[in-house]
Amino acid sequence: MTDELDLSVVLPVHNEVLNLPILWGEIAQVLAAGGWRAEVIFVDDGSTDGSAEALASIARGDPRVRVIRFAANAGLSAALAAGLHRARGRIVVSMDSDLQSDPRDIPQLLTPLGEWDAATGRRRRRQDPWLKRVSSRVANAIRNRVTGDHVEDSACTLRAMHRRCVADLPLFQGFHRFVPTLLRMAGHRVVEVPVNHRPRRHGVSHFGIRNRAWRGMVDLLAVRWMQRRRLRYTILDDKDEVDRE
């Protein structure tokens, strides 16, 4: 039986061929500086632009790299779930593969995990078009109002958590938007940490208002349903009692 790894980094990938070599170089530098026993799991979500070949080349050059390939595009939630559930590190970090997440933020996400179960990024100075920034603020406000939670940046994919948290995440299409709330529902302590945000350098965004608004609302209602149907009970005495005559 191999020793447990310190850290797993999970990265969903969909058509990011130009970003991947740059991103891997940044991650490798951060891992070297941190000195962790680590693995990096890229989940190729049915890319069609050569990302699969780029990932294969990266994996051949470093044994820490693992690549999971989907037969067809299944979406961010599926790619994230596949990576999280194959992680072997005591701590699991997730992040985007489009270079907008900064790997240099990983150490500051790990720092609170002595006290907290999970740390989720809160993007400072969003480097997105104004419409995307406004829609994100509106979406976060609606989520907080409906769920009763307070999360400033629920959709930030840059997160770190103890691996034990992964098993408590209910998996459904869209769960990636609600990870902080879903972890709190399971009793985990979650803190938001300010992180850097960078403009997209290559490729195009896979998300827009049209493909998120309706799906996001349906997913939000599902989360609210889970909150209302959650089992709640308090055990006063855990000793088995047997009636005897």
pLDDT in tens, 52-98: 999 999 999 999 999 999 999 999 999 999 999 999 999 999 999 99
At 243 the pLDDT is 43
Contact partners, residue 74, CB within 8 Å, separation at least 6? 45, 46
Report the C-alpha gap between 230 and 155 in whole angstroms.
Answer: 23
At 241 the pLDDT is 47
Q: Where are the domains of the chain?
A: 5-229
pTM of the model: 0.80
Task: Mark 38-71 as b/e (b = at least 16 C-beta within 10 Å).
Answer: bbbbbbbbbbeeebbebbeebbeeeebbbbbbbe
Topology of domain 5-229, CATH: Spore Coat Polysaccharide Biosynthesis Protein SpsA; Chain A (3.90.550)
- CB contact at 8 A, 74 and 46: yes
Q: What is the pLDDT of residues 25-60, one digit of tens each?
A: 999 999 999 999 999 999 999 999 999 999 999 999
Which carries the bigger pLDDT value, residue 152 or residue 131? 152
Helix H or strand E segment including 10: strand 5-13
Stretch 215-223: mean pLDDT: 69
Q: Read off the pLDDT band of 164 (50, 70, 90).
A: very high
Residue of 7, 13, 75 whose CA lies nearest to 42: 13
